[in-house]
A and B are shown apart, each in its own frame.
Chain A
Amino acid sequence: MARRDGSLTAGNAALALIGLVAGGAAAGLFLAGLADPAGAIDAFDARLAGVIGFTALQALLSTTLSVGLAAPLALALNRHAEFPGRALLLRLFALPMALPAIVAALAVLALFGRAGLLAAIWPAMGGGEWPGVYGLPGILIAHVFFNLPLATRLLLAALSSAPANHYRLAAQLGMGEASVFRFVEWPVLRAALPGVAMLVLMLCLTSFTIVLLIGGGPAATTLEVEIYQALRFDFDPARAGALVLAQVALTGLVAAFAGAREYRAGNSAAMSRRPARRPPAAFAIADAGFIAAAALFVIAPLAAMAASGAHADFGRLAGEASVRRALATSLGLGALAGLIAVAAALALASARKTLADRAAPSAAVYGRAAMLILVVPGAALGAGWFLLVNRFADPGQFAIPVVVAVNAVMATPFAFNVLRPVHDSGRDRHDRLCAGLGIAGWNRYRLVDGPMLVRPLASAFAFAFALSLGDLGVIALFGSDAIQTLPWLTLTRMGDYRVDDAAGLALILGFVALAAMALSDRLARSENP
């Protein structure tokens, strides 16, 4: 019993941390509005309406394009379960999501930008001068680059979750492609589509880095970028507060709408294997072309960035004190945020399970608290804290605690999702056995829970670390010459037109983040039975 109450104490501490981060941000906003009520009300003007409109427009278009292309692509991949390079392609499709946003944005610019690869080869192909992509088309391309692979993987997982026996039955009954789609594929696809679309919409609504780097001006700006401009350049707290309010209202609206549509991939319990499909030749040719085009669209920007990053003088970069300091800062802040996120997630999962086993209604609070933060974008939390701290100190001095705390809270839902299933099933399997044998307290952690959770914990940590590592939304508000992370340094080098440096730094950042993500993935796969 003592241990169980201990788990409640830890869970409440995690709740307090989340409450502090969210509450502090809210207080900052509230006080900013209170200090300048007229300014706050005036900030809700036509320009703000325009920004809200563009934020929603680009997110809706990005989602329509990403998911609209991902559905037929997932179907094509589902029709061809075996072709050389299929597994490699799916691994490749995990890349854009695993990369920090600034690296993905630079990859898109390395191919499509005014100084990108296409600009170099387009005239030679007789295409005239390459205009470079920016504004809405640029944002859309970058968002599709980011989200098409993600949506494709999720939809393909849904298609794979259809019972193998249904595919066997389809083969035995002699169903054509249209009937297989109608009877087998469409039901699972239809169930997964709303959740996947909501996820992509949310990511596009809160997209900061891509819009900042590719939007290219006041005509194509989103709420997140406007918050940053209002705080860092115009210093207009009332307007920043209004923007944050609009942003939270917008994401809250979508989240409330999406509540019932949470994406969940089903698992087929059937043990039988799916038979190989034999689509007609016309399908095979069209599918091959489509898959190849999608692969090219994902590979080409990455290749272009690798090529342009290779121009960077890594020897000089590695020698620069600012680069070494930024790398150390990034690793340190990421590790700290990752540790806190994993500890908070475990505490929440443990408290939730303890209360759920007692059938206490308060159990839901801990699960919701872990997820609630998904509704509030990191930049909004950062902005709230910036406004609060700014009242009595230079925000730069508080960069480290705020960046760590906000990133830890942001990574908590992901860590929670990794830990909770393993933790809960372990508790279900072992609670009675441990009670019978009298194994409790530290002995239980040492002998039972610890060994079982060590891999999921490490996996969740690596994931949270990579997530925090790539943060630009919060550090962009608090960063200064005194406190620099790799993404921040990359951004400032771009601002100074040191493009090769930026590409080189992005390559380093991308490499570290991918290594952490790959480690997380490997640890999650080799879970203890």
Chain B
Amino acid sequence: MTTTAIRLENIVLERPGGFRFVADLAIPSGARVALMGASGSGKSTLLDLVAGFETPDSGRVCLIGVDMTAASPAARPVAMLFQQDNLFGHLDAFANAGLGRSPGLRLSATDRADVMAALARVGLAGKEKRLPAQLSGGERQRVAIARILLGGKPALLLDEPFASLGPALGREMTALVAEIAAARAMTVLLVTHDPDEALGFAERTLFLDGGRIVADGPTREVLVDAPADIVRRYLHGH
């Protein structure tokens, strides 16, 4: 029996300059959903509404059945992985990951063991003392994934986190996230520009345009089998 992890109820959000975002959406627990669309179509706005970085002008944001429209980002059961600046440059990998457990970095012996285990889980055993500048781009994102593991939040928002890593490394990282999400039954929203990434990762895809969700269905159907005109133009240019 699956519950609804993310529910956007009659959301309206307007920004100066004429941008208007509307959404009414339900995503069940454990689902993996890709968000696609051109720049400015509202993908990041959708993530920000879920994460609590944006507050809607009207409508409700319910997470795991609780109305969290006005809740602070920290109070919400979601973690986010950004494309860049995920880590604090002056803290080593251990401390950066440890922030997921304690935002003041007060770690008990158990916590410290958990941090070591999480870093090992993402393949960074032995690199705990490295500063972000001493890690590769892929390794930096692994530290951020370890931090998310330690936070234990049930939902994960990914804002093109692997877009700058190159195709092979990007696929590897997506696979790692998929593995972790499956093991913990996490709900994942992934913003991507790459249809292959969406096909490989998400069973469901939302396509946004002009602040609205214009296509919503199984990924293969939305992108390949029966793409709407607007999706076809985005993917193939005609």
* CB closest chain-A residue, reference B157: A172
Contact check, B85 vs A163: say whether CB atoms are below 8 A apart: yes
User: Which B68-125 residues sit within 8 Å CB-CB of chain A?
Assistant: 72-76, 78-80, 82, 84-86, 88-91, 99-100, 103-105
Residues of chain A within 8 A (CB-CB) of B52 are 171-172, 275
* Interface presence of B151 (CB below 8 A): yes
Contact check, B86 vs A184: say whether CB atoms are below 8 A apart: no
Given A187-B89, A275-B53, A172 and B99 touching (CB < 8 A)?
no
Contact check, B88 vs A165: say whether CB atoms are below 8 A apart: no
Contact check, B91 vs A174: say whether CB atoms are below 8 A apart: no
* Interface presence of B174 (CB below 8 A): no
In the assembled complex, the CB of A287 is this many whole angstroms from the nearest CB of chain B, namely 19
Partner of A171, one of B53, B90, B104: B53
* Interface presence of A176 (CB below 8 A): yes
A273 to B80, CA, bound (A): 14
Would you give the 0/1 interface string for A352-386, flagging 1 where the beta carbon is closer than 8 Å to chain B? 00000000000000000000000000000000000
A175 to B82, CA, bound (A): 18
Given A165-B85, A272-B44, A171 and B100 touching (CB < 8 A)?
no
A171 to B159, CA, bound (A): 17
A179 to B88, CA, bound (A): 12
Contact check, B88 vs A172: say whether CB atoms are below 8 A apart: no
* CB closest chain-B residue, reference A186: B90
* Interface presence of B51 (CB below 8 A): yes
A164 to B105, CA, bound (A): 21
Query: Which secondary structure dominates where chain B touches chain A?
Result: loop
Residues of chain A within 8 A (CB-CB) of B104 are 175-176, 178-179
Residue count of chain A within 8 Å CB distance of chain B: 25
Contact check, A166 vs B88: say whether CB atoms are below 8 A apart: yes
* CB closest chain-A residue, reference B106: A179
Residues of chain A within 8 A (CB-CB) of B78 are 172
Contact check, B85 vs A171: say whether CB atoms are below 8 A apart: no
Contact check, B84 vs A169: say whether CB atoms are below 8 A apart: no
Contact check, A163 vs B84: say whether CB atoms are below 8 A apart: yes
A424 to B188, CA, bound (A): 45
Residues of chain A within 8 A (CB-CB) of B100 are 173
Partner of B80, one of A164, A168, A175, A184: A168
Contact check, B84 vs A168: say whether CB atoms are below 8 A apart: no
A163 to B89, CA, bound (A): 11
User: Which A445-498 residues sit within 8 Å CB-CB of chain B?
Assistant: none
Contact check, A175 vs B84: say whether CB atoms are below 8 A apart: no
Q: Which of B44, B52, B79, B103 has the most CB of A within 10 A?
A: B103
Given A166-B85, A270-B85, A172 and B90 touching (CB < 8 A)?
no
A7 to B74, CA, bound (A): 58
In the assembled complex, the CB of A273 is this many whole angstroms from the nearest CB of chain B, namely 8
Contact check, B103 vs A173: say whether CB atoms are below 8 A apart: yes
In the assembled complex, the CB of A95 is this many whole angstroms from the nearest CB of chain B, namely 28
Q: Which residues of A come within 8 Å of B, CB atoms? A: 163-166, 168-176, 178-179, 183-184, 187, 268-270, 272-273, 275, 278
Please name 13 further chain A to chain B contacts, defined as beta carbons within 8 Å, in addition to the given A164-B85, A174-B75, A270-B84, sorted by A numbering. A168-B80, A169-B99, A171-B52, A171-B53, A172-B52, A172-B79, A173-B99, A173-B103, A174-B72, A174-B73, A175-B74, A268-B85, A278-B72
Q: List 14 A-B pairs, Cβ < 8 Å.
A: A164-B85, A168-B51, A168-B73, A168-B82, A169-B99, A171-B72, A172-B79, A173-B103, A174-B72, A174-B73, A183-B88, A269-B84, A270-B82, A278-B72
